[in-house]
Amino acid sequence: MNDQRLETARGLLCQLQDSIRDTLIAARDAQSGDELAEVAEITAADTIYRIDKVSESAIFAWFESHWPADWPVELVMEGIEHGDAPTFPRGTPVDRTEFKCILDPIDGTRSLMYDKRSAWMLSALAPQRGDRTDLSDIVVAAMTELPTSKQWAADQISGVRGCGASGLVAERVDIRGGGRTRLEVRPSQATDFRHGFAALSRFFPEGKSLIARVEERLWDTLYGLGQSASPLVFEDQYISTGGQIYELLIGHDRMLGDLRPLVFRSIGFGSALVCHPYDICTAMLLEEAGGVIETPDGAPLRAPLDTTSPVAWMGYANPALAEQVRPILKILIQEILR
């Protein structure tokens, strides 16, 4: 895929996300929070709420009207079971498609439907390699903020593989009138975690104590707990993987990670409430910005572009921070989660 096609694809994903953002804002304004929070369906990937269904139909309509007919694509997204993925143009056999587009219509549904915090729409595109297509194949990614009712601004970040930090397109959109201003993307350049934000995801009760134990041991090893009268490391549990990537991209957080697949396996708990490939399909953007995103043991992220594979990951604002945590985390995972 040449540079011109990559840039065209990036623009298309941003247009898709602009359209879905506006559709969701209109639905939010027309319906009550209780209506949007109704459970619509429970799938192997996650619980699907009524607000998710609003975006699903809008996505299909957009692809039918706007996706280039000479770029046949398979769509993989939350809410669509494996084997039922639609293709565009409609009816194109999957093995005749050129691309695979993975997306999460609303990453952070629970926060958005209660109007607590922004969610994100995430989209990424990879050359079609059938079931072998994985996260490392992604060549274009985009993420767009889905704001709460009191917000007038929504951020959008997109890029293509190899663009580097200077090639990322980041804008703040005024949703009242559509104006756009440049947004600075600059992950933290801090060389340690003192007086900064860093955390491991523990959104739900299951496995929380084990995750907290890993995190407590990590900070104790690095800095010694109780050595300061004031806490040295702060945390913020943002219930959205895309939102967490954004926090790293924008310079708010220095480290974020999700060990839930490892923890759940350790305690013998089967749950869909983990990170999936569609949740972390915009990881490429952090890498292009100079950050690090990898498996907990430091390997590159490799997971099929589907809706069910569990993904454990660690994200760091810069390589120096990753180098401090990586060896300690490996030991702690072996000791605590064996």
| Mean of pLDDT over the chain | 91
Residues 114 and 140 in one domain: yes
3-state secondary structure of 278: coil
Average pLDDT of the segment spanning 279-298:
98
Confidence grade of residue 336 (pLDDT, cut at 50, 70, 90)? very high
Residues 161 and 248 in one domain: no
Buried b (16+ CB within 10 A) or exposed e, 42-53: eeebbebbbbbb
Residues 178 and 41 in one domain: yes
Cβ(154)–Cβ(24) below 8 Å: no
Average pLDDT of the segment spanning 320-338:
95
**Does residue 318 belong to any structural domain of this protein?**
yes
Rg of the chain on CA atoms, in Å: 19
How does pLDDT run across 20-75, given as a tens digit for each residue?
999 888 877 766 556 555 554 555 555 555 666 667 888 999 999 999 999 999 99
Query: What pTM was computed for the model?
Result: 0.92
CA distance 270 to 142: 31
Average pLDDT of the segment spanning 132-141:
97
Which is it for the CA torsion 133, 98, 280, 251, positive or negative?
positive
- Work out whether strand 73-77 and strand 87-88 pair parallel, antiparallel, or are unpaired: antiparallel
Identify the domain boundary among 114, 149, 182. Answer: 182
Res 49: pLDDT: 56
How does pLDDT run across 302-316, given as a tens digit for each residue?
999 999 999 999 999
Question: 302 lies in which domain range?
Answer: 196-336
**Does residue 290 belong to any structural domain of this protein?**
yes
Identify the domain boundary among 152, 182, 212. Answer: 182
What DSSP string runs through 100-142? Answer: EEEEEEEETHHHHHTTSS-EEEEEEEEE--GGG-BGGG--EEE
What DSSP string runs through 70-106? Answer: TS-EEEEETTS-TT---EESTT--GGG-SEEEEEEEE
Cβ(284)–Cβ(249) below 8 Å: no
Percent helix, strand and coil across the chain, each to the nearest 5: 35, 25, 40
Res 36: pLDDT: 56
Identify the domain boundary among 182, 209, 228. Answer: 182
Average pLDDT of the segment spanning 67-92:
87
**Does residue 29 belong to any structural domain of this protein?**
yes
Residues 111 and 37 in one domain: yes
**Does residue 188 belong to any structural domain of this protein?**
no
**Does residue 135 belong to any structural domain of this protein?**
yes
Total domains in the chain come to 2
**Does residue 189 belong to any structural domain of this protein?**
no
pLDDT above 90: residue 13: yes
Q: What is the CATH number of the domain that holds 239?
A: 3.40.190.80
Confidence grade of residue 80 (pLDDT, cut at 50, 70, 90)? confident
